[in-house]
Amino acid sequence: MEKQSPGKFAAKIRCCANDLQDHGVDKLGSLYDLTAHRLIRYAVTVTKNMSDAEDAIQATMVRIAVKPKILATAQQPWPYLLRVTRNEALTDISHLG
């Protein structure tokens, strides 16, 4: 994984979100490829379990695919994705209890 500045990373996320918004779910793979590795690592810290983390990432991607405009217009797209991932991870955890 190449190192990139936070600004460039955010711009790439926004570009993926715009593509998703303009061209539909066929473009979801680009967003996933760009962010999944980092999102999985983050989700594992929340869930303490790889399987639950992967479920949270899948739920995050579905949520973004349904409403890509929210991500495309977010002032800070990466923190927004992290927040959605955290919320999905916590939702998954709460259903287990």
pLDDT tens figures, 47-63: 999 999 999 999 999 99
Tell me which residue has tokens 């939702």. 91
| Burial class of 66 by CB neighbour count within 10 A (0 to 12, 13 to 18, 19+) | exposed
**Looking at residue 2, what is its pLDDT?**
60
Write out the two tokens for 71.
């991500």
Q: Are 16 and 34 in contact (CB under 8 A)?
A: yes
Flag whether pLDDT at 22 surpasses 60.
Answer: yes
Flag whether pLDDT at 94 surpasses 70.
Answer: no
| Burial class of 15 by CB neighbour count within 10 A (0 to 12, 13 to 18, 19+) | middle
Write out the two tokens for 66.
């349904």
**Looking at residue 4, what is its pLDDT?**
78
